[in-house]
Structure 1
Amino acid sequence: MKISEDAENILERMWVCINEEMSDSVDLSSFDLDGTSPEVIELLETGNILLSGTLATLSPEGDANGKTVVRRRRLAERLLVDVLNTKERHVRSSACEFEHILHRGIDENVCILLGHPRTCPHGKLIPEGECCIKAREDLEHVVAPLSALKNGQGGKIAYFDMREEHKMQKMLAMGVLPGVPVSLVQSYPSYVFDLNHTRYAVDTEIADSIYVRLEREQVSKNEYNGKLSVRA
């Protein structure tokens, strides 16, 4: 059952507190709410939360719905930064409005467009959707971190997995975006790769976080030789 945007925002905050900050429950007073607040009543009536005094917990349905709302918010942030080049100071407020547009189906299309990113621009994990699971199953033999490539091997960037914001900004500044062609030049003493007609050198941590969709003929050759260690 669809709920209002205000109720979704409360559900999102509760999901983060319980699932990422490891709280057993949420004291509604910390949100300036109580059992008579319209958003709380709506979440109760739709079966998303359970309430004992001012302490609220998520029902199984509420946990699933909260996860979806968080996923949409973080995908919206990723879209705003990576594709629409939105300034950092506007990302949070714009994403808050934009996430309510990304209904089920549209959010999967955005996720596919972005290459199934694992983290938002602030380094927080983006909950997986069905499209991510399917993509991982379909691509487990054709996607590998840059650090697993052989010299001269390349493909297109599938996604990157970096939680530290300053390092993520460094990759974005280099133009590390889904769909951009990349090829490894050398792997020692640092990883050197060509991207957009420019050559970059990065350390192992960053090379581990850049995932590349390998060219088909290179996948077949490496699977045959058994030389490539692929990480899903």
Structure 2
Amino acid sequence: MTISHETEEILERLYIEIIEQKRKGLTCEQLKIKQDGAVYGELIKKNLVTDKNGIIKLTKEGEVEARDVVRRHRLAERLMTDIFDMKGVCVHESACEFEHILHRGIDEQICRLLGHPTTCPHGTKIPEGKCCKERGIKDIRVMAPLSLVKPGEKGKISYIQSEDKDKLQTIMAMGILPGMEIALLQNFPSYLFKVGNSQFAVDENIAKDVFIRITK
């Protein structure tokens, strides 16, 4: 389905506020659209939303499309941060532009490239794609969790993907911080790696949360 960029932006907001934040719905005023405008017309004509008593909600078709827009945006943010080393406000602005050209298929290739990340740089969940369920050894390997890095490979720590405070403290205490050089020495019986002049061993529970931008 072809949808205008302006309508995709509205779908993205509806998904975040209704699906993720559990709001019951939004009004045209809150969405800053007009009932006689092109965006509202497209939303209704393509059965992406319903409007009952002035409260706009996503239809099943609309939720699928909105979820896809959100996924592309957050993958774009991850790409800008991890591959292009962009920071700050420009990450969000660039992602807003980039999400509209990430057609289906291309977004899956980028997801594979990034090692199937589950959160954006702000820690918000990235909706899972078909490629995430079919991940395998054929994936392009530029970004990968430490648990999938091969012994002898080197890279830079890109980000830590965990909401467990105790685990994060354990990881940081070992000097596993974004930007640090890391080399995996062995992956059995534990993951033995080198950061700086120190060597550490962790189990898979920690290794799977440390994402590496592979350089060698």
**Where in structure 1 are there 5+ consecutive unaligned residues?**
140-144, 213-232
Aligned to 1:182: 184
Post-superposition Cα deviations, 1:136-157, rounded to whole Å, max 9, x if no partner, equal: 7999xxxxx76x89xxx95769
**Where in structure 2 are there 5+ consecutive unaligned residues?**
140-144
Post-superposition Cα deviations, 1:24-71, rounded to whole Å, max 9, x if no partner, equal: 322332222342332121111111111113211111111011010001
1:49-198 mapped onto 2 (5 Å cutoff): 49-135=49-135, 154=151, 161-162=161-162, 171-174=177-180, 181-183=183-185, 193-195=193-195
Post-superposition Cα deviations, 1:170-228, rounded to whole Å, max 9, x if no partner, equal: 742225xxxx752469x9xxx97315x6547699996562269xxxxxxxxxxxxxxxx
TM-score, reference length from structure 2: 0.72
**Aligned 8 A contact 2:160 2:178 in 1:** no
**Aligned 8 A contact 2:27 2:55 in 1:** yes
What is the DSSP-based 3-state SS (H/G/I as helix, E as strand, rest coil) of the residue aligned with 1:125?
coil
What is the DSSP-based 3-state SS (H/G/I as helix, E as strand, rest coil) of the residue aligned with 1:57?
strand
TM-score, reference length from structure 1: 0.68
2:37 and 2:163 map into 1 onto residues whose CA distance is 35
Decide which structure has greater helix share. 1
Return the letter of the residue paired with 1:104.
Answer: R
2:161 and 2:136 map into 1 onto residues whose CA distance is 14
2:210 and 2:152 map into 1 onto residues whose CA distance is 12
Percentage of pairs with the same residue: 37
Equivalent pairs, count: 194
Return the letter of the residue paired with 2:98.
Answer: F
Once superposed, which parts of structure 1, at least 4 consecutive aligned residues long, lie more than 3 Å away? 136-139, 153-157, 167-171, 197-208
